[in-house]
Amino acid sequence: PIILSGKEFVNHDELSYPFEERGLQFGDGVYEVIRVYSGSYYLLNEHVDRLFRSAAAIKIALPFSKNELRELLDQLLEKNMVDMDAKVYLQVTRGSAARDHAFPADVAANFYAYAQELPRNLVAMKSGGSVISHKDLRWDWCYIKSLNLLPNVLAKQEAKESGCVEAILHKDGLVTEGSSSNAYLVRDGKVFTHPAKENILHGCVRMRVEQFCRDLDIPFVEDAFRVEDIQYADEMFISSSTAEITPVIEFDGKKIGNGVPGEVTQKLQHAYEQDAGIPMAN
């Protein structure tokens, strides 16, 4: 594949970094994952805006404007002849410099982006998936899409080893979000989710879910629910750029509602598919 590196396009085997790179040594950087359907970006502006917010929050100056970045990302798809469903991963770090915790003087940000084919997970979207609960061991600023993902990696691995699709994180008894998704509970026709505060990622799909709820007259309640509330839920689902809206049918080994994807979840899935201009999964 052709990789976008800074403002240049290079062959993937030409991309290399010195061992003293702040993303590698400190996780000193931020990233995005953007969904591509049939060769077109979905929610590109939202992701670009969030990348700029994340970078500003950790005081990294990006080497391009939002417009320039959008143009470079379009060229990335063209140069790789991406016309299928894919994801684009992009990351920016503070740069390469002799190892020192404090910011080095005159360091230039490192940036790269690449596309990877990613078919939709139609089975999970149709049948739903099981999840486990996991303590939220992350820091207070999860609204920054930081490269420091160790707590997320460990939680997701535990989910995988339990045959589950996601680990639902909780702090002080409240559900914050999934290890790589936002989490929602449906009860009495209302959708509950953690408010978009500093301790969760403000998901681009979450923003759309809020809009879909408004369009469909489904109350969207930004009020965190407790782990114990899940046993009384009618439905549960998660959202992310790669999982779209995936129904959750089992939590810590116990069925949610009837143990099948719920009506409200399915309505939101269809709203997503309409918004993204993609076929219905079920």
Q: Which residues bind ligand PLP (CB under 6 A)?
A: 33, 177, 180-182, 201, 203-206, 239-241
Q: What is the CA radius of gyration of the chain?
A: 19
Of the pair 241, 266, the CB lying nearest ligand PLP is at: 241
Q: Which of 59, 66, 135, 145 is catalytic?
A: 145
The distance of closest approach from Cβ of residue 224 to ligand PLP in the complex, given in angstroms and rounded to an integer, is: 14
d(CA 203, CA 97): 32
Q: Determine the residue with CB nearest ligand PLP.
A: 203
φ/ψ of residue 249, rounded to 5: -115, -10
The distance of closest approach from Cβ of residue 172 to ligand PLP in the complex, given in angstroms and rounded to an integer, is: 18
Residue 62 to residues 73, 108, 141, 231, 239: CA-CA distances in angstroms? 15, 9, 20, 45, 28
Of the pair 165, 205, the CB lying nearest ligand PLP is at: 205
d(CA 154, CA 273): 31
The distance of closest approach from Cβ of residue 1 to ligand PLP in the complex, given in angstroms and rounded to an integer, is: 21
Catalytic annotation on 267?
A: no
d(CA 129, CA 240): 14
Of the pair 109, 209, the CB lying nearest ligand PLP is at: 209
Is the distance from CB of 117 to CB of 37 less than 8 angstroms? no
Of the pair 20, 158, the CB lying nearest ligand PLP is at: 158
The distance of closest approach from Cβ of residue 158 to ligand PLP in the complex, given in angstroms and rounded to an integer, is: 15
Which residues are marked as active site?
A: 145
